[in-house]
Structures are given as structure tokens and as C-alpha cells.
Amino acid sequence: MKTTIELDPLLVKKAQKVLGTPTIKGTVDASLKAVVRQQQLHALADALGDIPLELTPKQLHRQRRKRTPRVSR
């Protein structure tokens, strides 16, 4: 879709730096995708609800120790 809008040049430059996009069109597209993705993640989190863990600090520490150690590359 082609449209004409006024954009804050400083805000566009900041968004380009954050998103790593070289063009205004790419920046706007990436920004819109990020907003939609963020909303979808919030909707998913709301759908999942809270997961009660009810772990004591001691139990949590034991669970963390059960993990396999990470191999450095």
C-alpha cells in the first residue's frame, strides 16, 4: 500500500539504528512487525495465565543444580 505520512526524522534515525534497517520503508515495516509480534506475545502470555511453582529457594537451587553444565565453545 502506498501512502504519504509525516515522520519525525530523529525518531526514524533512532529506529533505524535500533532495528538495523537502512531505509525508511524497511524501518516502518520492521516497526509494524515488532508491534504486532509484541501484541501476539502478550496475548499468548495472557492465554497461558500464571503457572504456580510454589518452590522454596532451597528447592529452586536443587532444580538448577540438576541442569547439565554448559559446554564452552
pLDDT in the model for residue 18: 96
Cα(56)–Cα(31) distance, integer angstroms:
41
Residue by residue, what is the 3-state secondary structure of 4-69?
Answer: CCCCCHHHHHHHHHHHCCCCHHHHHHHHHHHHHHHHHHHHHHHHHCCCCCCCCHHHHHHHHHCCCC
pTM value?
Answer: 0.63
What's the pLDDT band for 72 if we cut at 50, 70, 90? low
Cα(6)–Cα(1) distance, integer angstroms:
16
Average pLDDT, the chain: 88
Segment 42-67 shows an average pLDDT of: 81
pLDDT in the model for residue 31: 97
Domain ranges within the chain, ordered by starting residue:
9-65
Q: What is the pLDDT of residues 18-39, one digit of tens each?
A: 999 999 999 999 999 999 999 9
Q: What percent of the chain has pLDDT over 70?
A: 90
